[in-house]
Amino acid sequence: MARCPSCRRPVALARATCLYCGAALPPEGRSAAPPTSPAPPEGTPDGEGRLLVVLDLAGVSPDTLTRALDLPAYDAGLLLRRGGLHLHRVVEGDAARAEAGRLEAEGVAVLLVPEAEARVRPLRAVGGERGEGVLVLRTQEGPLTLRRGDVRLVVRGVITREYQPSSKRRRVDTARLEEGYRVHLHRRQDPRAVEIDATAFEFGFAVTGSARLELDAWVEEIAPGALIDDGFRRLPPALGPAGAEPGGALAAAGSLDLAARGRRSGRDERPLVLDNVEQFRFFSGWRAAAERRRE
């Protein structure tokens, strides 16, 4: 499987750019990595030593961006219409600082974010209750109370889920999995996001009757003035093996479906489920880390 030369993430499809960080991929089969971006030494935490080069596109002119990134005018226009922050590249420290200096000389504002900071694992909430201006959550590490004003940034996105094609049958499974929906609440006093999976969260008393609508109502209650980022929806899904679900309606439905498939086939058939949760977590992590540097 090819790897992006900048962020070292596996890229299953032949593409011109990396799905995770947007860096250009090598043309020879999109698989070779240049010697300037080696994998981390054994025993080194993933991302330690590398920096994310994040562009702040506010106020940048089309001509400036076209020249600075060596892009066609059309592509530069698309980036500017999207606006906000854009992950340009993930490279080693010296190369990142050199690239930042070059871009700033061209008139583009740059933020440098340690990759390790962007990959801080979130704190998963598995249940809770909503009150007036407060959320009382149950997390995997214990109870947590969030009050109005505690949240500086909300990142939310739809999670794509599908079965891995069967290598034995050489076909794509026609059964469709329900989309997921996750929200990250980035707090002012803690670098870890609070992650809520709408399909595996026990809401207690829910007014709306819909997990997604209920979660959006919780966001409005706890973070009425916070910045909300929905930009993940614009990224093509980069799928990887799904992690274990802590429970909830989605996990229960998936177990029943797999059991039924096994009964029909006469064996315990458990196809691998793929999703883009890790892609969402990385997007949310660098987005929050960059936002902290703008304050």
- Over residues 64-75, the pLDDT tens digits come to 999 999 999 999
Q: Are residues 149 and 112 in the same domain?
A: no
pLDDT per residue over 62-112, tens digit each?
A: 999 999 999 999 999 999 998 899 999 999 999 999 999 999 999 999 999
Instruction: State pLDDT tens for residues 28-61.
Output: 444 333 333 334 434 344 545 899 999 999 999 9
Q: What pLDDT does residue 49 have?
A: 86
Residue bearing tokens 């995770």: 20
Least reliable range by pLDDT among 84-98, 169-183, 209-223: 169-183
- 84 and 144 assigned to the same domain: no
Residues 78 and 208 both lie in one domain: no
State the greatest distance between any 2 C-alpha atoms of the chain, in Å, as a whole number. 66
Q: How many residues does the chain have?
A: 295
190 pLDDT above the threshold of 80 = yes
Considering 91, 117, 143, which residue would you say is the last residue of a domain?
117
Residues 239, 284, single domain; the answer is yes
45 and 180 fall within a common domain: no
Task: Tell me which of 144-148, 182-186, 271-275 is least confident.
Answer: 271-275
Q: Are residues 71 and 164 in the same domain?
A: no
Q: In terms of pLDDT, which residue wins out, 271 or 229?
A: 229
Say if strands 85-92 and 50-56 run parallel, antiparallel, or are unpaired.
Answer: antiparallel
**pLDDT, average across residues 18-24:** 55
Indicate the helix (H) or strand (E) that contains 264: helix 249-265
94 and 168 inside one domain: no
User: 62-69 vs 93-106: helix axis angle to the nearest 10?
Assistant: 150
Based on the fold, state whether residues 112 and 127 are members of the same structural domain. Answer: no
pLDDT at 145: 96
Please give the pLDDT value at position 164.
85
Residues 56 and 128 in one domain: no
The gap from C-alpha 90 to its chain's centroid, in whole angstroms, comes to 15
Whether residues 68 and 93 share a domain: the answer is: yes
Q: How far apart are CA 279 and CA 295, in angstroms?
A: 25
What pLDDT was estimated at residue 227? 94
Q: How confident is the model at residue 244 (pLDDT cuts 50, 70, 90)?
A: confident
Per the model's pLDDT, the better-predicted residue between 145 and 174 turns out to be: 145
Q: Which two structure tokens, joined as six digits, stand for 60? A: 């940048």
Residues 9 and 97 in one domain: yes
Instruction: Domain count for the chain, please give it.
Output: 2
Q: What is the pLDDT of residue 178?
A: 87
Angle at 280 between CA 278 and CA 283, to 5 degrees: 110
Domain that holds residue 252: 123-294
| Domain limit, last residue, from 84, 117, 150 | 117
pLDDT in the model for residue 267: 53
CATH number for the domain harbouring residue 23? 3.30.1390
Residue at which a domain ends, from 66, 89, 117:
117
pLDDT at residue 133, rounded to an integer: 93
Are 21 and 4 in contact by the 8 Å Cβ rule? The answer is yes
pLDDT at 183: 97
Most confident of the following: 23-37, 49-63, 196-210, 241-255: 49-63
Residue 40 has a pLDDT of: 43
pLDDT, averaged across the chain:
81
| 24 has pLDDT over 90 | no
Taking 90 as the threshold, does the pLDDT of residue 289 lie above it? yes
Task: Name the pLDDT band for 230 (thresholds 50, 70, 90).
Answer: very high
Question: What's the confidence (pLDDT) of residue 74?
Answer: 94
Domain match, 97 and 10 both: yes
Report residue 177's pLDDT band, with 50, 70 and 90 as the boundaries.
confident
Q: Over 60: is that where the pLDDT of 8 sits?
A: no
